[in-house]
Amino acid sequence: MPDDRLINDPDGGMPRLLEIMRRLRDPETGCPWDIAQDFASIAPYTIEEAYEVADAIERNAWSELEGELGDLLFQSVFHAQMASEAGHFDFDDVVRNIADKMVARHPHIFGDESRDKSAEQQTVDWERVKAAERGNARTLDGVALGLPALMRAVKLQKRAARVGFDWPDTAQVVDKIAEEAAELVEARDTLTQEKVAEEYGDLLFVMANLGRHLGVDPEEALRAANGKFTRRFNMIEDALAASGRTPGDSDLAEMDALWDAAKVAERSRVKE
139 burial class (0-12, 13-18, 19+ CB within 10 angstroms)? Answer: middle
**pLDDT given at position 90:** 97
Question: Is the per-residue pLDDT at 130 higher than 80?
Answer: no
189 and 226 housed in the same domain: no
pLDDT at res. 147: 82
Q: Where does a domain end: 181, 199, 216?
A: 216
> Three-state secondary structure along 100-121?
HHHHHCCHHHHCCCCCCCCHHH
Separation of CA 112 from chain center: 34
Task: Enter the pTM of the model.
Answer: 0.66
108 belongs to a structural domain = no
Quick check: is 203 in a domain? Answer: yes
Q: Which of the four pLDDT bands, split at 50, 70 and 90, describes residue 136?
A: low
Residues sharing a CB contact under 8 Å with residue 238, sequence separation 6 or more, in sequence order? none
- Asked whether residue 235 is domain-assigned, the answer is yes
The CATH number of the domain where 38 resides is what?
1.10.287.1080
Q: Which are the contacts of 218, defined by CB distance < 8 A and separation ≥ 6?
A: 150, 151, 153, 154, 207, 208, 211, 212
Report yes or no on 111 lying in a domain: no
272: pLDDT strictly greater than 60 = no
Same domain, 98 and 19: yes
Q: Domain check: are 208 and 224 in the same one?
A: no
CA 216, CA 211: separation in Å to the nearest integer? 5
Q: Which of 103, 120, 146 is the last residue of a domain?
A: 103
Instruction: Clarify whether residues 210 and 224 are in a common domain.
Output: no
Task: For residue 58, tell me if it sits in a domain.
Answer: yes
Query: Do 263 and 212 belong to one domain?
Result: no
Angle at CA 243, nearest 5°, toward 237 and 245?
A: 55
Percentage of residues in the chain with pLDDT exceeding 70? 97
The stretch 157-182 carries a mean pLDDT of: 92
**154 and 189 assigned to the same domain:** yes
Alpha carbon distance 272, 70 (integer Å)? 38
Residue 130 lies in a domain: no
Identify whether residues 160 and 98 lie together within a single domain: no
Q: Any idea which of 42-56, 108-122, 207-221 has the lowest mean pLDDT?
A: 108-122
State the number of CA atoms in the 13 A half-sphere of 14 facing the CB.
7
**Section 78-89 average pLDDT:** 98
Average pLDDT score over the chain: 91
Looking at the fold, whether 203 and 233 belong to one and the same domain comes out as no
Residue 53: is its pLDDT beyond 60?
yes
* Least confident piece of the model among 96-100, 127-131, 159-163, 174-178: 127-131
186 and 202 housed in the same domain: yes
Decide if 123 is inside a domain: no
Please write the tens of the pLDDT for every residue from 22-32: 999 999 999 99
Asked if 147 and 155 touch (Cβ cutoff 8 Å), the reply is yes
Q: Which domain holds residue 227?
A: 220-271
Shared domain for 208 and 234, answered yes or no, is no
Pair (200, 142) in one structural domain = yes
Residue 198, judged by CB atoms within 10 A of its CB (0-12, 13-18, 19+), counts as middle
Give the total number of structural domains in the chain.
Answer: 3
Same domain for 26 and 89, yes or no, is: yes
Residue 162 within a domain: yes
